[in-house]
Structure 1
Amino acid sequence: MIERYAAFTDSPAGGNPAGVVLDASELTDPRMLEIAAELGYSETAFVTERDGDRYRVRYFSPLAEVPFCGHATVATAVALGPGDHLFVTNAGEVPVTVDTSGTATLTSVPPAVAELPEADLAALLGALRWDAGELDPELPPRVAYAGAYHPVLAVTSRERLAGLDYDVPALKALMTGRGWTTVQLVFRDGPDTFDVRNPFPVGGVYEDPATGAAAAAFGGYLRGLGLVADDAVLHLRQGDDMGRPSRITVRLVAGSPGVRVSGRAVPMG
């Protein structure tokens, strides 16, 4: 049975829709990809094995399998119900806790941050139709990882973020060549508050309304560059420009390498 949830929201009209298949043990890879394409959501999660509270979970976009997906993890965990769950993903083990209010908190695999080569930055800016002078010098371009790879670009203007209009073939080709899952585009609205957008052409989707994997990677980026405290709670707003508001909470805990990402999920009917 295919279930449909909206993640990182209290309303079915907000957040990022995800398909959830809690028993995919008999589905082939082509069939899982076909289901994901039929749904048309940025990702659908498939539970292919279960051993107690340990679950083998795979994620498919309409075009390809992805190693990890945060919003579909939140949706799947909420569908499973309150308690502690361990998801075994292509990126590694991801613990997820669900409380009685329907809020799920995942802990990412250890994050990493790498330089974004100048040639890749130039190509990325070209595909986005952005100018280097619009970038925020306080949040330097990097490639961040917490289960999937996401280049991080921050701008000084909320209006520039709102006016997203990228070259789809060019960005898709660049992301495919570099193994990037989404692009984390950022505007810092305060010390712990950020507006973000995530193009996802490699998945067959123009943009994600909420991207938990990128949120985890961004938390690792901020901590790795010393831009926030080792103990920090961050608030990410996403999806507003798409008419699907999403709210993502990122928590960094000193001494814990994984990044905690929290949000609610609700059935879409």
Structure 2
Amino acid sequence: MEMALLPFQFPFMQNAFLVMLLIAPAAALMSCFLVLKGWSLMGDAVSHAVLPGVVIAYIIGIPLIIGAFLAGLFCALATGFIKDHSRVKQDTVMGVIFSGMFGLGIVIYTQISSDVHLDHILFGNMLGVASSDLWTAGLISGGVALILTVKWRDILAHAFDPVQARMIGLRIDVIHYGLLAILSATIVAMLSSVGIILSIALLIAPGAIAFLITRRMSMMLIASVIIALLASVVGIYASFWIDSEPAPTIVLVLTAMFIFAMIARNIRIARNTAAH
């Protein structure tokens, strides 16, 4: 038993567990709406697009999270504007914008002398999380989770039928751009621990897995949070014993859970079909 509890005895492991317990619920709730709206690539785009914001914030001496948030929000808003004013489809616009901004961030980073490691920005530094990172992640994630929990029915109506949502009096534009702002804030909360590249897994996988196991939105939200928390704890715990980085290990756990859920759903459908 003492060996099994060994990972929980180290302060850096305790902080890793704690930061994931703070950010996983918000990311999981957000993932449900991204999956339902078909915005998975939007999460990918915004997560990559924050890099130039981080680098520029470092250059001018402001908090990195401010630069990341503004860059992510700019990417999301620019994508919507270009889509509405051109014949190019949204997924194409997102691909061009996020790759362009990511490339810009890399170019700027290579031109400066910085003590901020690029690997930590891209892949996170979960084992080096400081108390300030915990406070930042907790406050942002708590606010995101609260908004999504209170307003999930309005966001759901907007996701499925924007026209009907407008007819019943919902502010469609406010919901749309508010959701983009919340997405940017969620990515900022994960920046120090999960990093830019791996944050996309937490913004897609929990909602995708929950979608496979339930069709009720309320249950989907609950299931996604449980899945994200379970994958986080298992991934961090396993990374200690196999001497790997926690963030990619969590992603592997989420991938395995998705494959298992997909196989289980196909088996269930086959059995129901055979029974009829």
After TM superposition, the score normalised by the length of structure 2 is: 0.23
Higher strand proportion, which one? 1
Which structure is larger by alpha-carbon Rg, 1 or 2?
2
Higher helix proportion, which one? 2
After TM superposition, the score normalised by the length of structure 1 is: 0.24
